[in-house]
Amino acid sequence: MNICVVGTGYVGLVTGAVFADLGNDVVCVDKLRAKIDSLKAGHMPIYEPGLEEMVARNVGDGRLTFTTDLPAGVRQSDVIFIAVGTPPRETGETDLSHVEAVAAEIGRTMDRYKVVVNKSTVPVGTGELVREVVARHQPAPIEFDVVSNPEFLREGSAIEDTLRPDRIVIGAPNQHAAMRLVELYAPLERPMIITDLPSAEVIKYASNAFLAAKISFINAIANICESAGADVTQVMKGMGLDNRIGSAFLQAGLGYGGSCFPKDVDSLIHTAGRLGYDFKLLKSVVEINRERAGRLVEMIRKVLGPMDDKTVAVLGLAFKPNTDDMREAKSVEVIQQLHGAGATVRAYDPVAADNAHPLLPEGVIYSASPYEAAQDADAVVLVTEWNEFKFLNLERLRSVLRRRAIFDGRNIWEPDRMRRLGFEYYSIGRKPVIPS
């Protein structure tokens, strides 16, 4: 099948590469010439395990190409995926200007029947908006269909999630359009659900909002555990073994970040308000998440005292492991607050330091390893749970610290082990370890 993917961010680039790997002819379009030139040269704009190799393989085989020429991409394709950015406005409303611009160009260029697929995360009603924009810009009426096919990929495992999704959601106005997408996804042999278009749009937001709610719920429980002397990890296990609840997204920590959960939750709150419903539950989810970084910093200040003469090593900058994405990263909040309190901050991340630099205060010192960051520091603060940190040589870490204080924002280490090693160990929703 001939496919055009508009947008070469996480969603667009991964979608294009995977469809090409399945044997389709795919052209990926982006308006940024420098980005397209970089992709043609084999340089990826994002860090995603396995993506560079997949792109190179399919470019070499002639199934995947890159261009800034959207009209050419539209004309040569049967199915057009819109995968451009949908950033939030200050009000929480989703900015659909990029989607509308692409839809208008599709309308101007369309020369035969096409299926236009909204792959970007968009509020309910956007499918009808895209249909109206495409039709309005057609020089002469040509039949087309608009389909919603929301993505559920996670950064850091985007290729795996695209090749082996839990489900494929297709929101279509008729069987003919739905079967085009069914045919495209058939090689994956994964469960498919075919719905009307508005329902597919709601499924995406409802899924992300529910997962965000699970994260905020267990973090609220962690607050109770800290006050009651309970262990949130044991609480999580007891809850997660209930099949009605499950253990996924039930890990206490610094809360959610990234490009999806924060803006999707805000967008659903805004959409609900526009439709006349005050979504108080989700507003509480947002408020709990907003408090997480400040709560950790307050714990650090209580333990270390005045921060003016303190050096703190921060491990992990990206919003989650296996990505260099700094959007809504908790490290930014933590470091800004530590820096504002007067601490000297040394930071280390395996891949995200370059992206973090413009977002962090001047004076932050970037280190080449966790041990360099911890050299003569008064504390280590774990923010992102990279595997590299789970397998640190803790004896070596202990030997370079001035004060053996560890603040674990993701609960990756066991308190008993930290006690045996002689650390002061403070984590989320668990009793602190304070050596005698």
Nearest to 324 by CA among 361, 353, 364, 347: 353
Catalytic hit among 4, 28, 225, 260: 260
Instruction: Please provide the DSSP assignment of 140-180 as one string.
Output: S---EEEEE------TTSHHHHHHS-S-EEEE-SSHHHHHH
Tabulate helix, strand, coil % of the chain (nearest 5).
45, 15, 40
Instruction: Please provide the DSSP assignment of 364-423 as one string.
Output: PEE-SSHHHHHTT-SEEEE-S--HHHHT--HHHHHHH-SS-EEEETT--S-HHHHHHTT-
Cα radius of gyration (the chain): 24
Q: What phi and psi values does residue 195 have, to the nearest 5 degrees?
A: -130, 180
Q: How many helices (H) and strands (E) does the chain have?
A: 18, 14
Nearest to 46 by CA among 371, 412, 354, 362: 354
- Residue 260 falls in the annotated catalytic set: yes
Collapse the DSSP code of 361 into the 3-class scheme (helix H, G, I; strand E, B; otherwise coil) and give the result. coil
Residue/partner pairs of 204-207 with CB below 8 Å, 24 or more apart:
204/121, 204/150, 204/151, 204/152, 204/169, 204/264, 205/121, 205/123, 205/124, 205/264, 205/267, 205/268, 205/271, 206/268, 207/152
264, two tokens? 């999707």
Residue 44: count of CB within 10 angstroms of its CB: 15
Catalytically active residues are 260
